[in-house]
């Protein structure tokens, strides 16, 4: 069984993989489009971005799942904890690792693409009110997106009902990004949202902090809802 340091490193590395490769696809799309805002990303672009996020998560789960359980998302960790499927003693370690890994990923993107990329709206894979749906609209889509992801995690990984949990969860994430990316930028992961916003702020550019409560609270509530819904609907063999 992995010790706490190994679990910490696994969650940090997995969060880095997810945020770096996932948000790098957003940065690349913006660079190709000449620095246009995230609102200008097309459906074809969102499909590519969704695949980047999904494949990154799939690889991270394959590589690191046996060590830490492959959460890589504070909402997932808190959801499992609220459903009494994760120990309270491990909670701070996982959350810190996820945020640190995500921040390192966004810092690496700035180091690669340059500070100027952070000046573009939605750069570094940041999120925002892409479709003008407002705080409430963002809250709803982030809640629903995270609930769907968490429900799949419960079925595929926690209860092991899917033959290949990593691919199943990765494909679900890809689909969610494609479906709601054009509305909210698709956070469904507080650390994945926080890191680009923080690094944008650090280099002196704007970030939609007024919307951050939606990207923080909605995913956590969505994950908790999905855990309890899954337990309620589950039929024992």
In tens, the pLDDT along 84-113 reads 999 999 999 999 999 999 999 999 988 887
Phi, psi of 2 (to 5 degrees): -70, 145
Share of the chain above pLDDT 90, in %: 71
Q: How confident is the model over 45-61, as pLDDT tens digits?
A: 999 999 999 999 999 99
Which domain, by its residues, includes 30?
4-233
- Assess whether pLDDT exceeds 90 at residue 67: yes
Here the CATH number for the domain that contains residue 82 is 1.20.1080.10
* pTM of the complete model: 0.94
Three-state SS for 81-145 is: HHCCCCCHHHHHHHHHHHHHHHHHHHHHHHHHHCHHHHHCCCHHHCCCCCCCCHHHHHHHHHHHH
Number of domains in the chain: 1
């Amino acid at each position: 069984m992995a010790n706490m340091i190994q679990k910490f490193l696994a969650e940090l590395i997995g969060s880095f993989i997810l945020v770096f490769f996932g948000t790098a696809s957003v940065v690349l799309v913006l660079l190709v489009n000449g620095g246009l805002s995230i609102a200008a990303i097309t459906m074809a672009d969102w499909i590519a971005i969704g695949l980047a996020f999904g494949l990154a998560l799939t690889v991270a789960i394959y590589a690191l799942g046996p060590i830490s359980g492959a959460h890589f998302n504070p909402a997932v960790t808190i959801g499992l904890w609220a459903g009494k499927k994760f120990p309270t003693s491990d909670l701070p370690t996982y959350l810190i690792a996820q945020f640190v890994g995500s921040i390192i990923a966004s810092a690496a993107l700035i180091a690669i693409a340059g500070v100027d990329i952070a000046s573009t709206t939605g750069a570094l894979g940041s999120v925002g009110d892409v479709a003008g749906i407002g705080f409430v609209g963002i809250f709803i889509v982030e809640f629903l997106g995270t609930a769907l992801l968490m429900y799949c995690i419960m079925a595929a990984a926690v209860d092991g009902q899917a033959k290949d949990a990593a691919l199943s969860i990765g494909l679900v994430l890809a689909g969610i990004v494609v479906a709601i990316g054009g509305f909210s930028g698709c956070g469904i992961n507080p650390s994945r949202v926080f890191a680009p916003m923080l690094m944008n702020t650090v280099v002196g550019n704007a970030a939609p902090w007024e919307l951050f409560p939606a990207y923080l609270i909605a995913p956590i509530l969505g994950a908790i809802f999905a855990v309890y819904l899954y337990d309620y609907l589950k039929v024992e063999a």
